Each structure stands twice: as structure tokens, then as C-alpha cells.
Chains A and B, each alone.
Chain A
């Protein structure tokens, strides 16, 4: 199982003008919606529940179960909000999906909205992917023209409006309640749960928030059926997903495979690690997931197996780093990211990520002490599980796992007064390190990145 690819979402990405409605229809597009409109909405929910589809945005919560949490209709509005705010470092699957196949997402939106009794759905897309936003706006327009959205869809009597909304640059808006606050025109800060969005979401109404890839998987589940979907993947991690290989790998890119495939198999398909080098560490699901090494090449990439091995499947963002990469540099840069993106609402995350960044910065630049490593672990311990959302938790993942796996390398920065590795060796092109790098190597200036 899992030794071949299974293109479903990516099936027509290589077609001419793949993003247009005509191309999508030629590949069987909107058959799922036609079928769904003839089904009882409750049966659509049941089908997705039975399929075992789990949230593809990182958390892995069963999608159909999430839908079923909506309270019984009370006559007021209910909303579907698609989380297209893809920003987790390393994660690059929803963006190419929406660029190449926005109609698949729109069809999923229509089916899901029908299932949950929603007549106005929103797609919240990050503002930093301009052309994807254009494609989504156009896709919605085309779907209206063809009668897949709007009034009386395909003569069914069902009405649905879809609004595509651009964010403005904030990682935290990928957290579902922060996303809802942002969509309401506020600062994107997570809400205390409960109440959960299913009960009080957008405008305090029952709301389902789902990731792009989750929603885009729905049409195939409706046309293919539960048994078909479950014939891929594992019992508890059913179906297919996009595995995004990046970094020091010969052929980086999107590989759509059944859940449970291993990195060893994927690397083989991708031509292996950069020529002349060996795998040093990797993330199974983005920068919020604990690091893995070559020891974990055969861990099946499904929710349970990755969890049992001490990390998380996350977004299947497989960032590959070879033996030239300084793990301290990598982790420090991620820490800077979390400090930058912490929304500031919860003290442990706001203050903790700030100090993680400072302490890691001085270790990277050769000015740290051995006690700093204990300080880092202590700060991580004080962040983990102590904030409203998981941003702070994610900030600790690579630090705690990185120190556990590569303690000697951290210590070498302390005892050696700087980084023992050459940053130029990691780059994909030849260059002469500039002054800032030299400074770092000699340990005279411990400035951290001000981004």
C-alpha cells in the first residue's frame, strides 16, 4: 500500500487552461454537485462522515463529524467558511490547487453548503497570492454564469452565494476563530472556545470552517462513494492527500498519494536528496511539527503513525534539509517567524516566543551559554498548552525536538563561538557569504532578524 501515486485532486492540473470551468467539466467536474442535489442533505453529511475524511489543514479532525456538530436549523443563517489562508511554513498545497483547479474547490463549497444548510459561503484566501485570488474570483463568476451558484442551482430550488475574501497578511488568521474575527473586519485574534464555531461562529451563527483540500476532496467522495475513498489510505487515515516535498530534494513538488505512504517512497519518486548529500532532518507537516530524521524514513505518513513516532502529520509539508544545513539556524528562523506572527493576545505565547527568538538568536551567533538550552526548554514548557490557540504550541515543536535530536550542534555553537557550518553550502546556487554571515561566524554581532 502506498507505493504509487493517486491523482484525484491533481487529476487535471496538467490540462490546457486547467483552471477554467470548461476544462473542469470535461474532466467530470460538477457531477458530484449534480448527485448531491438529488441527495438528502443529511445523507451527504453521513457520506462524508463515513468516508473517514479528516481535516487536511493540519488538525486532522473528522470533517463530517465537524459538520454534524451544527445545531438543528432554527431558521437563521448558517455559514461555510473555507480556510484558504495557507501560511504554515513549508505548506504549499492549497495554493497550487486553487491556482490550477479553483472549480474543484467551488464544487466542494456548493456540495458542503448544501449538506449543512448554508446559503452564503465564504472563501478566506490569504492576500499574498494575487493570482490565486484572481482565479477564485473568476471561478465563482463562471460558476454563477453556468448556474452552479446563485438562485435555484441546476433547477433544484437551492440558492447559494459565495464570496471570496482576501486577507491582508497574518499567519494567525489560519486559526479558525481568528479567521472568523478577521472575516468580521477585526484584528485576527483567536477566540476562547467554547463556544465552538459550529455553535457560534461567523456573526455568532453556526459555522463550519474547513481547509481548502478538505473541501476539494468532497466532490470525489460524492461521486466515488465511501467505499472507494476508503479503499485508499489506512483505516483511520482514509483517502488521498497532497504531499508537498520541498528543500534539498532533486524534484521538489506536489505528490498526491494515499495517506500512509512513507518519505522513503516519496523521496524515491522525487529522485532522492540533493546529489552528494544526505538527509539530516525534515518536517512531516510544516514548521509546527516536531522534527524527524533519517530514522523516520519508514514512518507511514498517516495521522496515527506520525503521532506515535512523536510528531504530527500536520499539512504533509515535507521540508527536506540535507547535511549542509545548520539546524540551529533553521530553528532560529522559525522561532523568529512565530514571534513575528504571535497575535499578542495570550501572554505565554506573546512573551514566550519573543524570548525564544532572543535566546536562539544569541546561540546561533555564538554568544549563548549552556544554560540557554535549559532556558529554551523551560520557556517551551511554559508556552505549551497555555494559550487560546495552537500557535505557541507550534513554536515549541521544532525547538524541543531539535534540542533532543541535535543537542551537540547547539552546544557546538556555544563552545565554538559561532556556527560550524557554511550557509553558502546549503544554497542552491554559488555565492560568497556577505558581511552579515561573516559577522555571525565570528560571533561579534548577535543581531536577530527584524522581520
Chain B
């Protein structure tokens, strides 16, 4: 089982769209896939038409009162399951802090479903916290969407620094440009001139397009409702770049 976390300190950079579309593509090629919606906003959960509620909230999950398996939900796409978001995740930091070795908790929870899945996607909340440390520890790959703007490059620097200093299992970090607008000179300039020594940057650029915005309306992944759209192809290319060997 490989764990891919879609993560950025900043919000609104296309994390959920990435997690949902890549998880769908992974399941479509026959991998048993789980998407864990860790974001209290529950956008991924909303997209899959699942009620964002876990009985007992995150406290029950973290304390082990309720096995992870009981909270898993099938989605309408074969091979793709969801661990829904719960608004009470906002307390997750406090609850993690109350456990022993809090940064290991997420990976231990995931170990209980290791037989059930080939790939797990973590759709992470935008912050640096105990949750994110736990995410780092549990992940094999940290996938970082970047908007081509000077400030978001700074946050990428902060993030790679954070991972490098992390006291635990360090995931591989791969960034990619998201919500890019080729018509904007600044976007083009940043994409072309980014120093590649900041960490691995994927070749695929996900453009800013209304098709991605339609996901909320259609409540489905882009490659499902617009399989021939250029952006669906880009997500396929991105998945080909970052997919773990099966």
C-alpha cells in the first residue's frame, strides 16, 4: 500500500481537485484506492455525494474506539472508497496531542487497512500542525500543488525545509503547477524559470479551467464527466508521472 498526500500550506490551490481526480484515475486502472478526506471542509466528501459525518468524530477514530474500517464508505466508482471528512477534524490536532507518539498515529491507523488498498490519497487541510506531521510520517509521496506565483514558491521552500527537518519517516516531495493560466505572463515566466533544485517538479502543468470548477456541480471527477477534455488528459499525465509502481 502506497500513501500519497496532497498537501500545501496554502488553501485554494487545487488540492481537493487533484486528490479526487488522481484517486479516480488510480481506481480506474484497477488499483484498490482509498481517499481520506482530512480537510474539515469536506470538499472531497461533498464531491462524492457522501454525508460528511463519522460517528464519534475524529476522537473515536484516533482513540481506536471505532475501527477505521467501519468509517469507510464505497463511492459510486468501482474500486474507489472514501473515508469521509468530519467537521470535528478541526479538533484533530488536540486529540493527536493527547495520544502517545502523536505523529505516528495516522500511519498506524492506515496500517489497519493495508490489506484492503493499493493506494491511499490523503486530502490534507492547509496548515503546518501535528496533523501535517502525522501526514508526513504516514506518506510515501507528498504531492504539492503550486499556483505559479512568487509567494507560492516561497511556501514550497518552507515546506521542503519542513520536510527536511522532519524527525521521522520523510516522504518524497513532488510539486506541480496547478491552476496555471498560460495567458498570464507571470505564470508563464514562473513555470519556465523555476529553479529545479528546489525539489522535484513534475513536468505536467494543470491549467486553470472551468471544467475543473464544474466538478462541484457535476459532483464527479473530471476524467469521468469530461474524459476527452484537455485537462482530463493533463491529470492522466500527472498520474503517469507520480503513480507508484504497481
A and B bound? Answer: no
Which residues of A line the B interface, CB within 8 A? none
The residues of B with any CB-CB pair to A shorter than 8 Å are none
